[in-house]
């Protein structure tokens, strides 16, 4: 099987400069490079660059997948809107790690599947997931908790380690978060038991009066700096940063994590067992329903044949005379129906006598006799 690797980088906050695009083009002659993206896939080669370095220098989002089962996604946010210390509380293993530069914090998530992927096309995944970056910038911590769960799923943490604060809204993930869960192949049972202590997500749309009161309390120099940043128009996260500061006074914080890694894994295992048992019960019930329906249809068919046995035998004779394989098959099927009817009505001996006569009459038709034998009409 040939190799397949897909790389996609996106610049969200600031477009790539012409000089940056030339730098990237020097590393790849066939990549699709625009002022906001770099996309390339490889059948036999590899990226001539370090995604970690590219995230620090150029891009705000990165997605990678390979046909041997590796999925990876990284997101970069300014430290003003996402504290590296908060991220470090959740990204604690190989499956979810983070690092910070002077200006940004990068969240890097990995998923491995030794069975590999059946579909290799990487297009579309990042577009579906990218809005989680804005959610994270606005103070939504669900992505970070999912990152921590990814480490739990990978058995990268001690079983007695306590979970971090559980953010609200885990039971009702947004579309982009659901796309992230699917891409990272997060265990649905683990996610379900983790979400049990997650409170409903409260609407955080502040009133005009509350915003006005908060804004009036800001020092004048700080207000002036905010206006200058707004007028410059190069700070895409100014609103998120200010709202995060505002909500810091009225937080929608997660609940304290009281469960251990071992608790979550055990509960997820029990939930999986329950799902498997219920699935088996549903399959058994459906199988029984189909069997009852088939038996009822069979009985109805035999009832329709009752009283028409002689006519059916004449039809068998006519089909055999054609000497066509399909007609032989139809004749054997009709004889099988006659056998079932005879067994049901206690006329088995008369039926067997009729079959013996039929076999003697057509003893020189081995194809027909073979069909009768395989149908148990010896």
Domain assignment present for residue 359? The answer is yes
- Domain shared by 169 and 258, yes or no: yes
Do 3 and 66 meet the contact criterion of CB atoms below 8 Å apart? yes
Do 165 and 254 meet the contact criterion of CB atoms below 8 Å apart? yes
252, two tokens: 């929608």
Domain assignment present for residue 297? The answer is no
- Domain shared by 70 and 149, yes or no: yes
pLDDT for res 249: 42
How close are the terminal C-alpha atoms of the chain, in Å? 51
pLDDT for res 234: 57
- Domain shared by 138 and 35, yes or no: yes
Domain assignment present for residue 259? The answer is yes
**pLDDT tens digits for range 285-331:** 999 999 999 999 999 998 998 989 899 899 989 999 998 999 999 98
Domain assignment present for residue 294? The answer is no
pLDDT for res 251: 42
Q: Is the pLDDT of residue 117 over 60?
A: no
Read off the pLDDT of each residue in 249-260 and give the average, rounded to a whole number: 62
Split at pLDDT 50, 70, 90, the class of 250 is: very low
Q: Is the pLDDT of residue 252 over 60?
A: no
Lowest mean pLDDT among 17-21, 112-116, 131-135, 373-377: 112-116
Domain assignment present for residue 181? The answer is yes
Domain assignment present for residue 281? The answer is no
Q: Is the pLDDT of residue 111 over 90?
A: yes
**Domain assignment of residue 102, given as a range:** 5-202+252-274
Q: How far is CA 189 from CA 90, 145, 163, 176, 268, in A?
A: 20, 15, 16, 19, 5
- Domain shared by 141 and 165, yes or no: yes
Coarse DSSP helix, strand, coil percentages of the chain, rounded to the nearest 5 percent:
55, 10, 35
- Rounded to 5 degrees, φ, ψ at 79 are -65, -20
- Domain shared by 24 and 135, yes or no: yes
Contacts of 21 (CB under 8 A, 6+ apart): 33, 34, 35
Q: Is the pLDDT of residue 142 over 90?
A: yes
**pLDDT tens digits for range 150-208:** 999 999 999 999 999 999 999 999 999 999 999 999 999 999 999 999 998 876 677 78
Domain assignment present for residue 13? The answer is yes
156 vs 215, higher pLDDT? 156
- Domain shared by 321 and 238, yes or no: no
Split at pLDDT 50, 70, 90, the class of 124 is: confident
- Domain shared by 138 and 78, yes or no: yes
pLDDT for res 237: 66
Q: Is the pLDDT of residue 90 over 90?
A: yes
Q: Is the pLDDT of residue 125 over 70?
A: yes
Domain assignment present for residue 45? The answer is yes
Give me the numbers of helices (H) and strands (E) for the chain, helices first please. 16, 7
- Domain shared by 94 and 234, yes or no: no
Total number of domains constituting the chain? 3
Query: In which order are the strands placed within the sheet that holds 37-42?
Result: 32-33, 37-42, 5-10, 61-66, 70-78, 104-112, 96-100
- Domain shared by 209 and 198, yes or no: no
- Domain shared by 71 and 176, yes or no: yes
- Domain shared by 33 and 175, yes or no: yes
- Domain shared by 122 and 222, yes or no: no
């Amino acid at each position: 099987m040939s190799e397949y690797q897909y790389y996609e980088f996106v610049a969200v906050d600031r477009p790539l400069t012409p000089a940056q695009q030339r730098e990237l083009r020097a590393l790849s002659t066939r990549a699709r490079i625009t002022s906001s993206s770099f996309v390339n896939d490889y059948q036999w080669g590899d990226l001539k660059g370090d995604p970690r370095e590219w995230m620090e220098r150029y891009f705000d989002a990165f997605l990678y997948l390979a046909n041997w089962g590796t999925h990876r996604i990284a997101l970069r946010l300014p430290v003003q809107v996402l504290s590296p210390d908060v991220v470090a509380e959740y990204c604690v293993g190989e499956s979810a790690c983070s690092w910070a530069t002077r200006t940004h914090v990068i969240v890097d998530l990995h998923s491995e599947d030794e069975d590999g992927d059946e579909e290799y096309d990487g297009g579309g995944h990042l577009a579906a997931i990218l809005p989680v970056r804005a959610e994270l910038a606005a103070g939504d911590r669900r992505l970070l908790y999912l990152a921590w769960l990814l480490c739990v799923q990978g058995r990268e943490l001690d079983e007695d380690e306590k979970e971090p604060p559980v953010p609200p809204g885990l039971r009702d993930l947004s579309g982009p978060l659901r796309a992230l869960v699917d891409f990272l192949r997060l265990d649905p049972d683990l996610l379900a038991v983790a979400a049990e202590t997650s409170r409903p997500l409260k609407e955080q749309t502040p009133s005009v009066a509350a915003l006005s009161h908060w804004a009036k309390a800001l020092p004048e120099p700080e207000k002036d700096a905010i206006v200058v940043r707004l007028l410059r128009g190069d700070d895409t996260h100014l609103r998120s940063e200010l709202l995060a500061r505002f909500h810091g006074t009225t937080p929608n914080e997660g609940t304290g994590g009281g469960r251990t890694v071992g608790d979550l894994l055990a509960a997820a295992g029990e939930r999986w067992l329950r799902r498997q048992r219920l699935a088996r019960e549903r399959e058994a019930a459906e199988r029984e329903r189909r069997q009852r329906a088939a038996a009822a249809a069979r009985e109805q068919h035999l009832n329709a044949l009752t009283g028409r046995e002689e006519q059916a035998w004449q039809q068998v004779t006519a089909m055999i005379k054609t000497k066509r394989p399909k007609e032989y098959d139809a004749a054997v099927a009709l004889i099988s129906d006659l056998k079932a009817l005879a067994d049901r009505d206690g006329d088995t001996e008369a039926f067997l006598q009729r079959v013996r006569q039929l076999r003697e009459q057509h003893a020189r038709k081995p194809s027909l006799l073979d069909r009768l034998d395989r149908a148990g009409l010896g």
